[in-house]
């Protein structure tokens, strides 16, 4: 595996893990260690709830299916953050899983297809929030360093990364607020114009 492939894999698996953390989906660990038997470059070991019944369709089953599919799609969408494109070959197992889960709570291929399309959009929106980007970058870096993280280690990494990010933004805000020139420019142009260099400037 090249360094670029390993980084893409780290983001992919971190996407699964951070989404699972956010959505309350139970998982034991996440790893970027290749599995020769399955051919996967990594995986997030999530588990089915004991109460889940594939032959039952109710609000509880529906809610779990939605969260599970968003978590699954989050891997590919997180990988896209560093590669700039989808991964049709490397996500075959994910897509098969999505189709299987979706069929548990839908009644036709047409409904299943529409359901999956909607949840892919939700996953993409979730992954592209600033909060998720900070968290997934931190977990990906930790995976590149340690190869495998437990659920609790993922949770700690996410919390630490977000706290550091908030502290840094607060420090920047205070620095900008306290700088006399920044205060004058903000009063004249407003915060948006200040970022763009002021009216009439590039």
**Tokens at 183, concatenated:** 């205060």
Residue 201: inside a domain, yes or no?
A: no
Q: Which residue did the predictor score with more confidence, 194 or 78?
A: 78
Cα(73)–Cα(53) distance, integer angstroms: 22
Question: What burial class does residue 169 get, using C-beta atoms within 10 Å of its C-beta: 0-12 exposed, 13-18 middle, 19+ buried?
Answer: exposed
Q: Do strands 148-150 and 43-46 pair parallel, antiparallel, or not at all (unpaired)? A: unpaired
**CATH number, domain containing residue 91:** 1.20.58.760
User: Would you say 10 and 34 are in contact if contact means Cβ atoms under 8 Å apart?
Assistant: no
Residue 85: inside a domain, yes or no?
A: yes
User: Would you say 103 and 112 are in contact if contact means Cβ atoms under 8 Å apart?
Assistant: yes
In the predicted model, is pLDDT for residue 85 greater than 90?
no
Q: Which domain holds residue 89?
A: 3-157
pLDDT per residue over 139-184, tens digit each?
Answer: 999 999 999 999 999 999 999 999 999 999 888 888 876 655 554 4
pTM: 0.82
Residue 162: inside a domain, yes or no?
A: no
Number of domains observed in the structure of the chain: 1
Q: What is the C-alpha R_g of the chain?
A: 21
Cα(68)–Cα(97) distance, integer angstroms: 10
In the predicted model, is pLDDT for residue 198 greater than 70?
no
pLDDT per residue over 93-124, tens digit each?
Answer: 899 999 999 999 999 999 999 999 999 999 99
């Amino acid at each position: 595996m090249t360094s670029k492939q390993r980084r893409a894999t780290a983001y992919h698996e971190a996407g699964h893990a951070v989404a699972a953390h956010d959505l309350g989906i139970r998982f034991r660990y996440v790893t970027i260690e290749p599995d020769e038997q399955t051919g996967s470059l990594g995986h997030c070991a999530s588990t089915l709830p004991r109460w889940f019944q594939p032959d039952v369709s109710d609000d509880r089953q529906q809610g779990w299916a939605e969260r599970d599919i968003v978590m699954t799609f989050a891997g590919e969408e997180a990988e896209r953050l560093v590669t700039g494109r989808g991964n049709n070959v490397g996500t075959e197992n994910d897509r098969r899983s999505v189709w299987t889960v979706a069929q548990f709570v839908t009644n036709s291929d047409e409904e299943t297809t529409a359901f999956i399309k909607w949840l892919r959009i939700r996953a993409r929106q979730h992954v592209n929030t600033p909060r998720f980007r900070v968290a997934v970058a931190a977990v990906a870096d930790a995976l590149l360093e340690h190869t495998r993280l437990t659920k609790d280690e993922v949770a700690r990494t996410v919390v630490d990364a977000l706290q550091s990010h908030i502290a840094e933004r607060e420090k920047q805000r205070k620095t900008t607020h306290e700088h006399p020139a920044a205060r004058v420019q903000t009063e004249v142009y407003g915060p948006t114009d200040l970022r763009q260099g002021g009216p009439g400037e590039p």
